[in-house]
């Protein structure tokens, strides 16, 4: 009986910790609102519309991320991206959907991407892109049962009604066969949300700036090395740096390690089949005090690319 009570108290404390984290995000707007990914090198279209068309073929990419496994209410994120060239020269289009759930917060994002390619020289290109779409946003505090606080606290009563928030973003992507550099703002509008019980208003979508880059070096005929960096900047939060070191072995296996400064480290593996199908797995471990509350973050990615127009050597490096 005592063991059951202990587990119940521990479970309530974990829920309360998640609730505090969520409340800080909703009321102060300081937390990063866009999810991070261990395999961001191949999920770039989510944050940069100019990435659409870089495959030069019709392609699909799906990713599922289960963050902080073992912690109730921990974030879960799923994305699906599609990109394709069109019959208009240098024009490509894309579509992406993302479901992001953390605690009481639920977001579903739908976006259309458009990119136009400018050829700088024989093997150097610049793509300019625009993204437009909507976010379905909802937070339901009334569903939370058993938190160790005052049930009459108005901050824990009522819902943030389901909101449909329109937005648009822009991006640029400069690349060659062995390198890339991107700059993007996936959401330019800073939308607000309201609690229908207290009429409290705060920012649901803050403007994020992303810088991404990487280069591929030949170590030998069978081994290539690709260091990458992703920088995320948002008002009211520390700048986040994601660093990775990846090795391509015999053109069909990627192995790599990631480090998010002050937050986590992890490992990535990806298998390439016939230069079309890719299956990837990533795992991350917290370096902060949060690490003692969960057993890591796990991420699975699958992509498929139809063959056709791409002229570069296989496999695709990014």
Higher pLDDT, residue 203 or 283: 283
Looking at the predicted structure, is the pLDDT value of residue 8 above 80? no
Please tell me the pTM assigned to this model: 0.83
* Mean pLDDT score, 111-140: 93
Do residues 67 and 297 make contact, with C-beta atoms less than 8 angstroms apart? yes
**Burial class of residue 199, CB neighbours in 10 A (0-12, 13-18, 19+):** exposed
Looking at the predicted structure, is the pLDDT value of residue 56 above 80? yes
Higher pLDDT, residue 36 or 157: 36
Looking at the predicted structure, is the pLDDT value of residue 7 above 60? no
* Overall size of the chain counted in residues: 318
Question: What is the per-residue pLDDT across 80-116, written as a single tens digit (0 to 9) for each?
Answer: 999 999 999 899 999 999 999 988 788 999 999 999 9
Terminal Cα-to-Cα distance of the chain (whole angstroms): 55
For residues 264, 180, 113, 41, the Cα torsion angle rounded to the nearest 10 degrees is -30
Question: What is the per-residue pLDDT across 10-51, written as a single tens digit (0 to 9) for each?
Answer: 444 445 455 544 444 444 334 456 788 999 988 899 999 999
């Amino acid at each position: 009986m005592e063991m059951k009570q202990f587990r119940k108290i521990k479970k309530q404390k974990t829920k309360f910790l998640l609730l505090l984290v969520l409340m800080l995000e909703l009321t102060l707007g300081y937390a990063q609102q866009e999810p991070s990914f261990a395999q961001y090198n191949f999920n770039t279209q989510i944050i940069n519309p100019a990435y659409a068309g870089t495959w030069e073929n019709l392609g699909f990419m799906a990713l599922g991320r289960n963050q902080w496994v073992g912690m109730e209410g921990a974030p879960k994120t799923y994305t699906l991206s599609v990109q394709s060239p069109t019959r208009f020269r240098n024009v490509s289009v894309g579509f992406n959907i993302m479901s992001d759930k953390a605690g009481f917060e639920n977001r579903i994002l739908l976006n259309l991407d458009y990119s136009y390619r400018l050829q700088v020289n024989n093997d150097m290109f610049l793509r300019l892109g625009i993204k437009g779409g909507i976010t379905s946003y909802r937070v339901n505090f009334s569903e939370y049962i058993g938190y160790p606080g005052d049930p009459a606290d108005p901050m824990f009563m009522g819902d943030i009604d389901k909101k449909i928030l329109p937005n648009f973003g822009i991006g640029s992507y400069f690349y060659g066969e062995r390198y890339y550099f991107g700059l993007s703002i996936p959401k330019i509008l800073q939308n607000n949300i309201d609690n229908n019980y207290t009429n409290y208003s705060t920012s649901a979508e803050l403007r994020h700036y992303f810088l991404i880059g990487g280069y591929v070096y030949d170590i030998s005929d069978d081994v290539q090395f690709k260091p990458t960096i992703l920088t995320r900047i948002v008002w009211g939060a520390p700048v986040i740096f994601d660093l990775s070191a990846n090795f391509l072995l015999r053109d069909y296996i990627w192995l790599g390690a990631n480090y998010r400064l002050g937050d986590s480290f992890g490992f990535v593996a990806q298998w390439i089949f016939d230069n079309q199908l890719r299956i990837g797995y990533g795992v991350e471990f917290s370096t902060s005090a949060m690490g003692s509350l969960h057993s890591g973050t796990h991420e699975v990615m699958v992509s498929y690319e139809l063959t056709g127009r791409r002229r570069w050597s296989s496999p695709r490096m990014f």
